[in-house]
Chains A and B, each alone.
Chain A
Amino acid sequence: MAQKPNFNDDIIFSTIGELNAKLRAREFSAVELARAFGERLERLGPRYNALALPLREQAMKQAKAVDEDIKIGRLRGMLQGVPFGVKDLLAYPGHPTTWGAKPYAAQVINQTATVIKKLEKAGGLLTGKLSMVELAGGPSYRYARASFQGPGLNPWDRSRWSGGSSSGSGIAVAAGLVPYALGSETSGSILTPSAFCGVTGLRPTYGLVSRSGAMALSWTLDKIGPLCRSAEDCGLVLQAIAGGDAGDPASAGKSFYYAPQFARAFKDITIGFASVDFSAIPDPAAQPDLQKAFEQIKALGVRVKEVKLPDFPYGALVGTIISAEAASIFEPLIMSGQVDQLADQKQIAGLKAGLEIPAKDYLRAMRVRSLVQEGFAELLSDVDILIAPTRSAPAPKISDPLDRIATNRPLPANRGFSALIPAGNLAGLPGLSLPCGFANGMPLGIQLVGRPFSENMLLAVGREYQQRTDHHRKRPPA
């Protein structure tokens, strides 16, 4: 009888490629791997409020088929036999899809989200659905506890927030509960938990990944993307989930092939930055490692150039657009009064007030958004990539009011790229957050933002950075 494999931390925290190589080498089976991650997710997920729905039994059934395929040499790529989790806004038939919100706790959507279908077709094993901020954050929310599954507790320090709204996805990857996860971003919901939890997260270009079967928060802003252990893993997952889909009216109809080797030579890549982002703006405890990260990026051989973001009220624009679209989407919830069952009073008020936004103001915001896109097209004709801290401070305390943190210390008049997250989302641009160090023991992230559909360039820079550093290999305390 074969010896039972020892799924120690070195295996649990392996990348997708490493796990797939061990599966092919028969060091363990897909069934054994699915069982190990499924048990770990069920045992440790509740410790961080990361688990929305365990799917271990389902995953193990699929793993049996994968083992048969591997046995007869039917190899389907790097994702084959590798477990994963998804944010609980993606539909999976026969099981609840809560959208992180009490009013939808018993909701069953008998559809498989396109991205799950694609990962399963590639041999991926869905071991569970992961917690999230209710309604992916809605127009806004004040507290980390704005979730049906409870506040996302950071694996690096459970008194601190995981970030949101893809809270469970960030936690699960950081704590080794899944090798990778899918999250969604409307304005910061992939990049923020990636930075706070110390994992690598990719926000794809708007329209590159189908949202069919995903909860809509804002039709013109929502994107689905991966949170992983490395830039390389993000590329592998993106390749599997990208592509045109008639089920998503916003689909760009484009595929993505992960091929960082064909990205431009680094000496021909110009990265735009604002020096204030690495000096006056960040939390003082975060400055040393953020500065070092920027120096390490420069050491890759890229060119750098100080630039300014086009000057627009990004926060006001993204706030108006999300509020108006979310209120329209959730009008039945609001009008029925069930909106009052949500956990966060600011979100409840935001949804109600969103119904009052006049059409002329929404349309004006969307027209100004066209100018934003023009402005970024101009900026990104001058430089290839923009770089900035993903967040200027590490994860806040669980009890902190999230809309008051920025007032704790004075900021300079020049805000650098502080608004790069809402700006990048408004312009539909891809963004990659890379772990880049620590402040007071909590992870920090640095973000790269590029032109639409330039994911391979971002991933090439990210991969090279991670070949020279080990921030992405750091593990939270057991």
Chain B
Amino acid sequence: MALTFTRRALAGIAAAAALGKREAAAQSPQASALPANPEEELTAVRAQNKANMEQIAKIALPLATEPATHFKA
């Protein structure tokens, strides 16, 4: 199937779709109490990872988008 948008255009669409709807949890830590023991720490990290994945899942991702591996000048 032929693409009708450039990847750059799709990136813009994806970014616009997500505009203003989220704040990265890792950029805005919660003011909650610190975990008291290793179990609580693990629970907190798992919750953070889950929240991260949920944020990432909100980004519209064109089917043709491949994982980033190369950086060009």
Is A419 close to B, CB under 8 A?
yes
Taken together as a complex, chains A and B put the C-alpha atoms of A349 and B43 apart, in Å, by 8
Of the candidate stretches A122-130, A307-315, A382-390, the one touching chain B is: A307-315
- Chain B interface mostly: helix
Is A470 close to B, CB under 8 A?
no
Q: B71 touching A310 by the CB < 8 A rule?
A: no
Q: B56 touching A371 by the CB < 8 A rule?
A: no
- B7-46 residues with Cβ-Cβ distance < 8 A to A are 7-8, 10-12, 14-16, 18-20, 22-31, 34-35, 38, 41-42, 44-46
Pick the contact of A323 from B15, B49, B55, B65 — CB < 8 Å? B49
Q: A320 touching B42 by the CB < 8 A rule?
A: no
Q: How large is the interface on A (under 10, 10 to 19, 20 to 34, 35 or more residues)?
A: 35 or more
Pick the contact of B8 from A312, A357, A378 — CB < 8 Å? A378
Pick the contact of A374 from B11, B18, B23, B49 — CB < 8 Å? B11
Q: Which residues of B contact A320 (CB under 8 A)?
A: 49, 52-53, 56
Of the candidate stretches A91-99, A272-280, A401-409, the one touching chain B is: A401-409
Q: Which residues of A contact B23 (CB under 8 A)?
A: 313, 415
Taken together as a complex, chains A and B put the C-alpha atoms of A316 and B50 apart, in Å, by 10
Least CB distance, A323 to chain B, in whole angstroms: 6
- Chain A interface mostly: helix
Q: Which residues of A contact B8 (CB under 8 A)?
A: 374, 377-378
Taken together as a complex, chains A and B put the C-alpha atoms of A274 and B18 apart, in Å, by 20
Q: Nearest residue in B to A321 (C-beta to C-beta)? A: B68
Known contacts A313-B24, A403-B29: A370-B66 contact under CB 8 Å = yes
Least CB distance, A308 to chain B, in whole angstroms: 9
Taken together as a complex, chains A and B put the C-alpha atoms of A363 and B67 apart, in Å, by 6
In the complex, per-residue mask of A83-127: 1 if CB is within 8 Å of any chain B CB, else 0:
000000000000000000000000000000000000000000000
Q: B15 touching A345 by the CB < 8 A rule?
A: no
Is A220 close to B, CB under 8 A?
yes
Count of chain B residues near A, Cβ 8 A: 48
Q: Which residues of A contact B11 (CB under 8 A)?
A: 310, 371, 374-375, 378
Q: B52 touching A312 by the CB < 8 A rule?
A: no
Q: Which residues of B contact A299 (CB under 8 A)?
A: none
Q: Which residues of B contact A371 (CB under 8 A)?
A: 10-11, 14-15, 59, 61, 65
Q: A319 touching B61 by the CB < 8 A rule?
A: no
Known contacts A320-B53, A367-B61, A371-B59: A452-B12 contact under CB 8 Å = no
Q: Nearest residue in A to B18 (C-beta to C-beta)? A: A311
Q: Which residues of B contact A314 (CB under 8 A)?
A: 24, 27
Least CB distance, A320 to chain B, in whole angstroms: 5
Is A453 close to B, CB under 8 A?
yes
Taken together as a complex, chains A and B put the C-alpha atoms of A111 and B31 apart, in Å, by 45
Is A352 close to B, CB under 8 A?
yes
Is B2 close to A, CB under 8 A?
no
Q: A374 touching B7 by the CB < 8 A rule?
A: yes
Is A9 close to B, CB under 8 A?
no
22 residue pairs from A and B, CB less than 8 Å apart? A206-B71, A313-B56, A313-B58, A315-B28, A316-B26, A319-B48, A319-B52, A320-B52, A320-B53, A348-B41, A363-B67, A365-B56, A366-B68, A368-B56, A371-B11, A372-B68, A373-B71, A378-B8, A378-B11, A401-B34, A407-B29, A452-B72
List the 5 closest pairs (A to B, CB-CB), nearest first.
A315-B26, A315-B24, A366-B67, A374-B11, A316-B52
Q: A345-B41, A346-B45, A375-B11 are in contact. List 16 more A-B contacts (CB 8 A).
A: A311-B15, A313-B22, A315-B25, A316-B24, A317-B56, A348-B38, A348-B41, A349-B35, A349-B41, A357-B53, A364-B61, A367-B65, A367-B68, A370-B68, A371-B11, A415-B27
Q: Which residues of A contact B (CB under 8 A)?
A: 139-140, 142, 205-207, 220, 252, 254, 310-320, 323, 345-346, 348-350, 352-354, 356-357, 361, 363-375, 377-378, 401, 403-407, 411, 415, 418-419, 422, 426-428, 451-454
